[in-house]
Structure 1
């Protein structure tokens, strides 16, 4: 799995109920912008605010709108291992891979426990690649991923890699070295996209790949051609995009609403995320145009 993978939003009607009919347009939008995959039911997709049935409905809708150009990864993690296993089994004949975050209320404090947790989930979809979703700022599982790979290799037969959403580039680099082409270490920290390139990153998962896919592909092209100054300038613009939306009430909710500006109306956000008005987004769009992002939005 290579190139950009969008961490997708959960489309909703104005009353806050799921709007899975929107996923067909969403899928076509991502494909048109050369996004290679979807990471559904994750943090960007508000999985903690969804019921089990709603998460299954999202999985089914993406499955029904799957194309050969879009790789589907379904996040099935949950504080309840029983729920995570149920979601993994449900996804087993619908998507291309599954992933799971560590439990984030009663938090894991050892790699052995993490392996036990992942193994229980992965075995419920033994036909699918399994990714551990490493996002310690939310899960609290402050564990070394290079050590996890080393210890998990004999315990989780379908372990495919890690969604590495952390700014610890040293651990990421060790994971890439240890992977030896056996594991796919997907980088998941959008603001450090450019920093992942010298470390050999080839696949990325992030929410801003919904909005700015052309920009990130250009950063990659510039880096490969040795034009670091121009690449760094574009990365700074991507960071300003995140900072501006975050300043308007939090990135998750505001970023979801910004999809409407790009032609894919994902509807309102669920509490505690912010839902802004159309006039707010006119102002945001003008501010983003002012910092030079007008030509870099996904279309």
Structure 2
């Protein structure tokens, strides 16, 4: 069967948070309202599920399957593209999640490199990705490059060069790194049916200038509508307006970093802005102190006042 890879991903893709109950169990009941918030309040119709923002490596296999299933069910008819991240430390677990994503009707899968036993070369990583892609051949396949988290010292450029010969379903890259030369070379090597998605929210404008066709990010959960305005301004050639929005994003994140910005803080900010009951992060991540999250939310509203 030919892979269903005709629809390119572009624009804003929200890297979703995983909702937990206060007792630490996943809370899939929130996903329906979450979909409605993204689509109706933020104008975001693409999601990246069970990634870094979703605390995937802290979830069990069964939890990841349940979350992917509920996102697919609740997003049907509302979301344009739903990419499920299936990367694990184990090749067999990654393959199992890839098969599952294909079975439940996901629109694509993404895979991060293992980061305990690390691939030492691009060829080793490419072979790993090939072994995952081949078990779900009908799904568009994306490599998720995030060296700050994986510690993988392999340029994405070396991974993607000629990869379509190894992985016919390969359709792009989530580049969550700050090396714009490496990203630029990925753009240079890109095929017409690939989607090059930038993943460092506070540098999105630079990524767009290098040729990104869209972006995957955690802040798009609560700043998606503003980021869409940034992209619109960039495409219209209004760099002054695009910079003005980007500088606001950077000002917010600079303020948040001083408050100890991490995934727990980011999640709490989403709760403050959206009103969704997403719960705490899972240990070893700690919940954000209330005074910090409220201060960051106040800063957010001062920079992005409600219309």
**TM-based fold match above 0.5:** yes
The alignment's TM-score, normalised by the length of structure 1, stands at 0.93
More helix, by proportion = 2
What do residues 106-164 of structure 1 show as CA deviations (whole Å, max 9, x unaligned)?
A: 11111111111101111111110110101111112222222322232211111111111
Q: Distance in 1 between matches of 2:213 and 2:158?
A: 21
- Aligned positions of 1:175-186 closer than 5 A: 175-186=186-197
Q: Distance in 2 between matches of 1:288 and 1:128?
A: 37
The alignment's TM-score, normalised by the length of structure 2, stands at 0.91
1:234 aligns with 2:242: no
Deviation of 1:279 after TM superposition, in Å, equals: 4.7
1:5 aligns with 2:13: yes
RMSD value over aligned CA atoms?
1.7
1:141 aligns with 2:152: yes
- Aligned positions of 1:34-49 closer than 5 A: 34-49=43-58
**Runs of 5+ unmatched residues, structure 2:** 1-8
Structure 1 residues 272 and 239: CA distance shift in structure 2, 3 A: farther
Contact 2:173 2:195 in 1 (8 A): yes
How many aligned residue pairs are there? 295
Match of 1:273 among 281, 285, 307: 285
Give the secondary structure class of the aligned counterpart of 2:143. strand
Contact 2:205 2:243 in 1 (8 A): yes
Match of 1:158 among 152, 156, 169: 169
Q: Distance in 1 between matches of 2:163 and 2:300?
A: 44
Deviation of 1:14 after TM superposition, in Å, equals: 1.1
Deviation of 1:69 after TM superposition, in Å, equals: 4.1
1:16 aligns to what? 24
Q: Distance in 2 between matches of 1:148 and 1:161?
A: 11
Match of 2:82 among 72, 87, 96: 72
Higher mean C-alpha deviation, range 73-82 or range 235-244: 235-244
Q: Distance in 2 between matches of 1:245 and 1:50?
A: 26
1:60 aligns to what? 69
Give the secondary structure class of the aligned counterpart of 1:295. coil
Contact 1:259 1:265 in 2 (8 A): no
Q: Distance in 2 between matches of 1:145 and 1:276?
A: 33
1:124 aligns with 2:132: no
Deviation of 1:272 after TM superposition, in Å, equals: 2.6
Q: Distance in 2 between matches of 1:289 and 1:27?
A: 22
Q: Distance in 1 between matches of 2:128 and 2:267?
A: 31
